[in-house]
Structure 1
Amino acid sequence: MAQEIERKFLVKNDDFKQESFKETKIVQGFLSTVPERTVRIRIKGDQGFITVKGIGNKSGTSRFEWEKEISVEDATDLLKISEPGIIDKTRFNVKSGGHTFEVDEFYGENEGLTVAEVELDAEGEDFIKPKWLGEEVTGQVKYYNSMLMKNPYKNW
């Protein structure tokens, strides 16, 4: 079973863009958003993916994750039958010490929201926090993409 360990933060400003070494356009939807499992369909650049995520632990730091690449055509077809709402964002990859932060700048109904995630090998692992990193929101359900689809940032 694959285990994902990550921490999530708000981003204070656009300074991360100067440090970014890669940008990727992402469009995603969800076939299932029940708390016990989410099933995500994603088009990331020129690739398609299906991902299943399990319920998180008490801190929200780790949870089961399974992902497989699928064709963009299949992903496009599956997005058509997804639950209402689409997540539209650009992901910026930024190195900080030995880690890479994935910084997501959202558009559409989530315009104005920018969050950064860092994947870790262990829950207590240390990492270097960039100056543009803001408040930690790990485990806060309203920041999950599956929830942003249902209750977009513009409605907060």
Structure 2
Amino acid sequence: MNNPQVRKKTVWEQITAEINETYETKFQASQVEGRWKTILSSYRKCKDAKKESGAARKDYEFEEELDDILMDSHTTQPAYTFSSGKGNDNSSKRKVEETVEGEEPQKLRTSGSDKVIHFLEGFIEKSERMEKERIEESKRMHNEKMGVFRELIEALNK
């Protein structure tokens, strides 16, 4: 996704094809991309909430995995941020963890996000491995061509 020569649409289509093949599903690329954007948005909100002073502790289920995948991405860990100085007062909103006595606690929404993250980790590993193999093959072919050129030059010098 960080390679400017590869279109994102093509990457999402490849990811979708592998998900559909692996999990025997019929997702479309736009659905998979939408799920990724939702996961990324939730992750960013969690990261931002942790930066706020006095904010209640928020944990994100896939935070460690996304930290590993995104590392130091400027989209989630910008070098500089600007603030308008306005506070965000969410005190009137009821938190999911808070319950009123006698009420059932709200259930957290569960989804197939863990499968998507697991798949994306595998996809990234596979892509990196394929890229490494491609580079090795290019080096091998280059060395082979250089050998042929050396032999040609030696033959012409005789």
The TM-score bracket by the shorter chain reads: under 0.3
- Which TM-score applies when normalising by structure 2? 0.20
- Which TM-score applies when normalising by structure 1? 0.20
More strand by share: 1
Which has the larger Rg? 2
More helix by share: 2
Q: Looking at both structures, which has the greater relative contact order when contacts are Cα pairs under 8 Å and sequence separation is at least 6?
A: 1
